[in-house]
Amino acid sequence: MLEYSTTEIRSFYSLQDLRENVEEKIVQFKALGEEYSQWLGSLLRDLESAHSNEEWFKSVSALERYAKKGGSRKEGEKKKALAEWVVVKGVMLNASDQGEVEMLFDAIEEINRKIEQLTKVKEAVEDLERLALGKEIIYVAYVHDGVPEKIVLRHKKGGEISEKFTYIADFSMIKEP
């Protein structure tokens, strides 16, 4: 299981610490995704004899092969519900095999999305490491659902780091007569 708060502010005292944290999260998410994929595969094998001729099962089998390759549905694709859900005080309930299959697919898709986000963060941190910002910086990260989404650079000794990231531009304007 992954252990993290939904939203947190966390300080890292080096880019290496931040990168290692992100790499650890990627490993954890991959392990969890693999666990859920195995669960889904086992469930589908168990359901195959009873549901193999049903349309929902055929479409799920195709989606499972796609999901195992790390894919997810495109943004524009509509998500078809496999099962009928009943909402009770904000909680969705279902008692069918299709509900469990749908829930596993949703979890695997979300995990794959998190892995993709974390990989991008890791690449960004590696780019920052190449900039050699120095050892006098604390990296304060806004972490949402296990993924660092924002990073503030703070100088350890109270100095100003924002000067290194100032955008300077000169503009010329033609005055009309």
80 backbone dihedrals φ, ψ, rounded to 5°: -85, 130
The better pLDDT of the pair 152, 162 is held by: 152
Is the pLDDT at 54 greater than 80? The verdict is no
Provide long-range contacts, Cβ within 8 A and 24+ apart, for 119-126: 119/26, 121/22, 121/147, 121/148, 122/19, 122/22, 122/23, 122/26, 125/15, 125/18, 125/19, 125/22, 126/19
Whole-structure pTM over 0.85, yes or no?
no
Q: Which two tokens stand for residue 115?
A: 């892995």
Q: Decide: 161 and 154 in contact? Cβ < 8 Å.
A: yes
Q: What is the pLDDT of residue 23?
A: 97
The better pLDDT of the pair 162, 94 is held by: 94
CA 6 to chain centre: 12
Range of weakest confidence among 41-50, 55-64, 132-141: 55-64
